[in-house]
Amino acid sequence: MVCCKSLLFQQMPCEYLSLDAMEKWIICNQRSCYVLLVLSDHLGLFCYSYNKRINDIRECKEAAVSHAGSMHRERRKFLRSALKELATVLSDQPGLLGPKALFVFMALSFARDEIIWLLRHADNMPKKSADDFIDKHIAELIFYMEELRAHVRKYGPVMQRYYVQYLSGFDAVVLNELVQNLSVCPEDESIIMSSFVNTMTSLSVKQVEDGEVFDFRGMRLDWFRLQAYTSVSKASLGLADHRELGKMMNTIIFHTKMVDSLVEMLVETSDLSIFCFYSRAFEKMFQQCLELPSQSRYSIAFPLLCTHFMSCTHELCPEERHHIGDRSLSLCNMFLDEMAKQARNLITDICTEQCTLSDQLLPKHCAKTISQAVNKKSKKQTGKKGEPEREKPGVESMRKNRLVVTNLDKLHTALSELCFSINYVPNMVVWEHTFTPREYLTSHLEIRFTKHVTPFVLKRSIVGMTMYNQATQEIAKPSELLTSVRAYMTVLQSIENYVQIDITRVFNNVLLQQTQHLDSHGEPTITSLYTNWYLETLLRQVSNGHIAYFPAMKAFVNLPTENELTFNAEEYSDISGKLCLVFLLNFSVDSVLKRMTIIGVILSFRSLAQEALRDVLSYHIPFLVSSIEDFKDHIPRETDMKVAMNVYELSSAAGLPCEIDPALVVALSSQKSENISPEEEYKIACLLMVFVAVSLPTLASNVMSQYSPAIEGHCNNIHCLAKAINQIAAALFTIHKGSIEDRLKEFLALASSSLLKIGQETDKTTTRNRESVYLLLDMIVQESPFLTMDLLESCFPYVLLRNAYHAVYKQSITSSA
């Protein structure tokens, strides 16, 4: 064992005695002397001239003002490196905390003295040497103090084990020898010292292993009594004559404190609760720490200091407890909040940089490169002379040497430093309140990702990425939005390398809210924005005949018109994983066929989104999707409809097409009127199908009803009627518990009969697109899971369909020629 007697000073309590305590003693002594001098002068006992002493004090003051600042600055600089080395050694070898405990508490005491000195002189600094009183690295010194404190608390049992063995195996033996060698030892003193030896001898390591609570306060109180007994002038055993005994007992007292009073020792040597009364200086130090990137990793020291504040309360002044407690909570909350905001801003800047890099990879930027390559190949000079060549994506990653640092490098470095601080402790307890620094960061990330407090934040949020302009009805392409969101997600996932937070929870909380019409703050989401845009802008242009659905491309395309549209429908309607689901709306019925066509367009658009969803899920969870598909395909016809609908809901959620659309069933069920009996509603549903069937011939007179082989559809989108008729019939007769197959057979018979009558018309205007309308019957049968071509053959001669296809293709060739 290492004997502490090898230290330079043998009075252990003096080694870690606070400078603050010594200054209080000096000030108290000076005040006492001042009072005596005043009284002496007043009584006329003696009178000395104080001029010489005043001059001495003035010289001391000038010397202190000139040199104290630089001296304490160098002390802090030395202590930073010393505490860092000590903390590093102890974190690697915590067993050294036992033999080096005195040095730990000495280091804490010295560092505490320097911090308090700087704090008390921060507001009254000399102008000539003001820089010596501003320490931007003070956070580092406080941080290493907190790290040493944490080591002492964490490895307290290790220190207890060491000093229990020290007390019983060494101190007890040495003290017993010293007592035996005393020439004179009165009975009272002998009893006290014998009790010391017996108490230490009875100690064992098993007590530490069993978690026994030690209490040596009685032993230390007996030592105080013994000092009082042996310090009087007439004492038979004078302590001044037995200095070795006094030194040994002081060492033993220190060792006992290492067993039962570690927390009290930490408060005595490293308590910084004085910051509670210097709030302005405290906050200023914190801001300086955040402003300096190299010091931001130590910013967690300031919230940790708030745990000290309750140490300055006293039982005799209970009314201060709540005020100090509230201040500690407010400061801790403010510090953690500012740290999280700083990290959030850095993450946002990184996301912006990544979005810019991802944007460079979008297909729209390759057109110029392709054009330059084509022109170069054909030796055409189209560009202006002196025009700078556009940098290609990836140029930013080319480094000529390691000294080149980009803005993204600086952001990542600053973020890693700050995240180290946030991740330093899982939680901290301040006045019986638990703070979790990581939760602050998680909360701020969720808010930044969704909430729109200011226009600046709006630009950075996921909703802001849509760039929706209500006035001009402009919105970002879904593919571009998906690219930006993925760039954000990539950056956020990389944060897990810096700090242990659940980024998946952030994604779930944010992205799941975006699937609803309003988020948790009552603000519109990307779902509501895109739903409104597709319904009010894109699909309205479909109704106006400016856009058509192209089944072959599975997209909507612009039609040539006099007034060019401000957007390309194909870029907004192709399959993308981020397209919003379109909800069916309740249209007012002005024209049944027109409204049915619009519904068909919406259902076609929805089928595109579902197909995209199915592709994404098949990529991520192929086994689950295949199981759902197998389950759907093997539902017996006699299965109860409620059970079947549950299966259809599951299948629809996986993007699989169903015979009966559960979403449409729910939408139509919500429109049921309480004033109409179920029988009447069933009749209305049947009449609707009859009305549509007998109205089909009127489509032949419309110029836009011409079938275009190029897009495999009609120019006015009436080919979408096939999907609308089948889906609505299936949903309506599921709700009213009718036979879907029988009703569709009736519809096919009525529609066939109505269309056959067109052949008897002699008016060319009425029958101008008769062949194109004939094709609707084939599309309806092809779309339906309940109808067959044999059934169509029995109602409508197939030769008419064949001739109709021949006619429309021939007409298309003639028109193009």
The DSSP-derived string for 582-605 is PPP-----S-HHHHHHHHHHHHHH
Query: Quick check: 609 and 663 in contact, CB under 8 A?
Result: no
Cβ-based neighbours of 181, under 8 Å, separated by 6 or more: none
Return the HEC string of 681-729: HHHHHHHHHHHHHHHHHHHHHCHHHCEECCCCEECCCHHHHHHHHHHHH
Q: What confidence score (pLDDT) does residue 450 get?
A: 63
Q: What confidence score (pLDDT) does residue 40 get?
A: 44
Going by C-alpha positions, the residue among 112, 124, 111, 113 that lies closest to residue 65 is 124
Residue 398 DSSP SS3:
coil
Span 92-124, pLDDT tens digits: 999 999 999 999 999 999 999 999 988 888 777
Going by C-alpha positions, the residue among 253, 151, 168, 158 that lies closest to residue 204 is 168
Which one-letter amino acid corresponds to residue 591? S
Going by C-alpha positions, the residue among 597, 584, 586 that lies closest to residue 544 is 597
Query: Quick check: 704 and 717 in contact, CB under 8 A?
Result: no
Dist CA 706 CA 545 (whole Å): 12
256: left (phi over 0), alpha (psi -120 to 50) or beta: alpha
Q: Where are the domains of the chain?
A: 4-154, 158-267, 581-603+661-816
Dist CA 658 CA 721 (whole Å): 18
Query: Quick check: 737 and 645 in contact, CB under 8 A?
Result: no
**DSSP characters over 626-678:** HHHHHHHHT--TTS-HHHHHHHHHHHHHTT---SS-HHHHHHHHTT--TTS-H
Dist CA 312 CA 270 (whole Å): 13
Beta bridge partners of 430: 433
Query: Quick check: 441 and 493 in contact, CB under 8 A?
Result: no
Q: Which helix (H) or strand (E) holds 429?
A: strand 428-430
Dist CA 77 CA 104 (whole Å): 17
Give the torsion through C-alpha atoms of 80, 86, 91, 92, to 10 deg.
130
Dist CA 162 CA 258 (whole Å): 9
**DSSP characters over 81-125:** HHHHHHHHHHHH-GGGGTTTHHHHHHHHHHHHHHHHHHHHHSSS-
Would you mind telling me the total number of residues written for the chain in this entry? Answer: 817
Buried b (16+ CB within 10 A) or exposed e, 310-331: bbbbeeeeeeeeeebbebbbeb
Residue 736 DSSP SS3:
coil
Structure tokens at 776: 């609707």
Dist CA 555 CA 558 (whole Å): 10
Q: Which residues of the chain have pLDDT under 70?
A: 1-12, 27-52, 377-390, 450-462, 543, 552-555, 561-564, 566, 568-591, 673-674, 816-817
Could you tell me how many helices (H) and strands (E) the chain has, helices first? 34, 6
Dist CA 714 CA 706 (whole Å): 6
Beta bridge partners of 523: none
Going by C-alpha positions, the residue among 462, 590, 594, 437 that lies closest to residue 529 is 462
Q: Calculate the alpha carbon distances from 132 to 67, 138, 311, 704 in Å.
A: 10, 12, 30, 85
Dist CA 170 CA 197 (whole Å): 11
Going by C-alpha positions, the residue among 666, 640, 641 that lies closest to residue 653 is 666
Which one-letter amino acid corresponds to residue 478? P
Query: Quick check: 467 and 484 in contact, CB under 8 A?
Result: no
Query: Quick check: 287 and 241 in contact, CB under 8 A?
Result: no
- For residue 15, which phi and psi values (nearest 5 degrees)? -65, -40
Q: What confidence score (pLDDT) does residue 10 get?
A: 55
Give the torsion through C-alpha atoms of 41, 46, 47, 48, to 10 deg.
-130
In terms of C-beta distances under 8 Å and separation of at least 24 residues, what long-range contacts does 790-799 make, across chains too? 791/745, 791/748, 792/748, 792/752, 795/748, 795/749, 795/752, 795/753, 796/752, 796/755, 796/756
- For residue 709, which phi and psi values (nearest 5 degrees)? -60, -25
Q: How far is CA 27 from the centre of its chain?
A: 52
Beta bridge partners of 548: 557
Query: Quick check: 350 and 491 in contact, CB under 8 A?
Result: yes
Dist CA 726 CA 607 (whole Å): 14
Cβ-based neighbours of 743, under 8 Å, separated by 6 or more: 686, 689, 729, 733
Angle between helices 172-180 and 243-260 (to 10 degrees): 150
Dist CA 365 CA 381 (whole Å): 20
Dist CA 511 CA 509 (whole Å): 6
Q: Which helix (H) or strand (E) holds 764?
A: none
Going by C-alpha positions, the residue among 551, 555, 573, 353 that lies closest to residue 478 is 573
CB atoms closer than 10 angstroms to residue 394 = 10
Cβ-based neighbours of 148, under 8 Å, separated by 6 or more: 83, 86, 87, 90, 104, 107, 108, 270
Going by C-alpha positions, the residue among 346, 307, 311, 350 that lies closest to residue 329 is 307
Q: What confidence score (pLDDT) does residue 387 get?
A: 55
Structure tokens at 447: 């808010």
Structure tokens at 326: 């509230």
Structure tokens at 103: 């040095």
